[in-house]
Amino acid sequence: MRVAPVALATLGRPDAAVEWTLGQRRITHHHPLSDAASLTLVRMVQALISGQGVRSARSVAETLIAAQPAFAFAPRRGLSTAFIVDTMRTVLHGFFGATSFSDCLVETVNQGGDADTTGALAGMLAGAAYGPAAIPREWLARLDKPVVAEIRRQVPQLLALAPATSP
């Protein structure tokens, strides 16, 4: 759930992306499956915000599945648990089956189980794919205003750490 800032800050720097992702991740989740999932999410977000599109993100996901077949997500209809494999399968199923930001989030969260985690991950991917304008206005209106202001302040700073990009 915490890899979006890493994806932004290390855009265009794959070695830093690996180092930073694993560094922040292993504070709470030190397991090879969690490492693989987090690195996949960072690479997917970076592909999406770099304009490479959903096909490129799917290729990244397929690389994960080739190395770790347990992450295969199609077809996927099942309760998401706190286990990273279940979480990722639910998120990937929801993301790749959606045609909009809201469809992705609603489909993913409605699978139940660890819905806050799956929603955060699906939202990260859908946001990178569809952009901020795709987030329903009524959803944005309900967000905590100081948190929104802090996010808007931090995103350009994170992108500034990735010299290969422009915010």
In the predicted structure, residue 125 carries a pLDDT above the cut 70 = yes
CATH of residue 77's domain is: 1.10.4080.10
Q: How many domains does the chain have?
A: 1
Question: What amino acid is encoded at 46 in this protein?
Answer: Q
Range of the domain at 103: 4-160
Helices (H), the chain: 4-9, 14-25, 32-49, 53-67, 84-97, 101-109, 115-130, 137-141, 145-160
Residue 167 within any structural domain of the chain:
no
Residue 155 within any structural domain of the chain:
yes
Tokens 């399968």: give the residue: 89
The band of 164, judged by pLDDT with boundaries at 50, 70 and 90, is low
Residue 166 within any structural domain of the chain:
no
- CA 99 to CA 103: how far, in whole Å? 7
Residue 165 within any structural domain of the chain:
no
Give 56-114 pLDDT, tens digit per residue. Answer: 999 999 999 999 999 998 766 667 888 999 999 999 999 999 999 999 999 999 998 99
- CA 89 to CA 119: how far, in whole Å? 13
pTM for this one?
A: 0.93
One DSSP character per residue, 66-112 reads: HH-GGG--SS--S---SSHHHHHHHHHHHHHH-SSHHHHHHHHHTT-
> Can you give the length of the chain in residues?
167
